[in-house]
Structure 1
């Protein structure tokens, strides 16, 4: 798996073994409250924990061909570009302050990164104040994703989103080796 953002500062360690699932039955994998990946034939995931206990996950999705992967990437980008609206709707439904702010933090020729700062509602995200980071890179017939959360309740140095283009580059490098 790729070098993780702020590896030294956050002390990322694997949280369990690498898992792999056949998705040829058509299942979609939910990424967060806003987006899901559909059309993949294989899903691999490696979980991580920072020294402060914050979770992260790195995922690889394989598709039947490059066109299917590109289509999934476009859907994910569209979903994430609507994530602020969706997140605030979820907050309203759950009776939580509607404070979600989602920003695109970096783009490259084959990838996009976002940060969502909000009061989470539990379920897919932890409850309480947090920033969720999502990176997606499309290469050929696969997508590589990396997600991590900065939870207000767990002290850790804040992630510098100015490095997000470099994170996308590291994920692209990983994907090129797949």
Structure 2
């Protein structure tokens, strides 16, 4: 389904929710796609299992070394620290916004939509997220709904959003479907 497609997973150096990185990553691989870990710094990223340190993952490339043209889609995993860091990094925000400008699919889970807010790409879009991000999304012009996954095609690209790790099965399927289209 995703044969030949390369998907960027944008992650900060520390604070990504491990399961929100690893489960969509596996879904992309199982569908025949190639996931690549993109960060703001080279080296490794530190994942977390909620508040406890998880595994470390090697960075494939940085936002400054690649172009959106190198990828067919973007995944923004959550965790509280991860998107909070990304939304303050100009390179990460630019990289995210360029996927929308190029009309390429984007997926974000949990707190991941914070980066979308900073990139100013949710206005007029229907989304979901972790509940504490709801007000930020609404203030940025999004229509927020409390559903396990929302697929919004009302814009320049397909935008897939989800609330939390419990929703990963539905999120992973929607991600693969959006990237395969």
Same fold (TM over 0.5): no
TM-score (norm 1): 0.28
| Bigger Rg, which one | 1
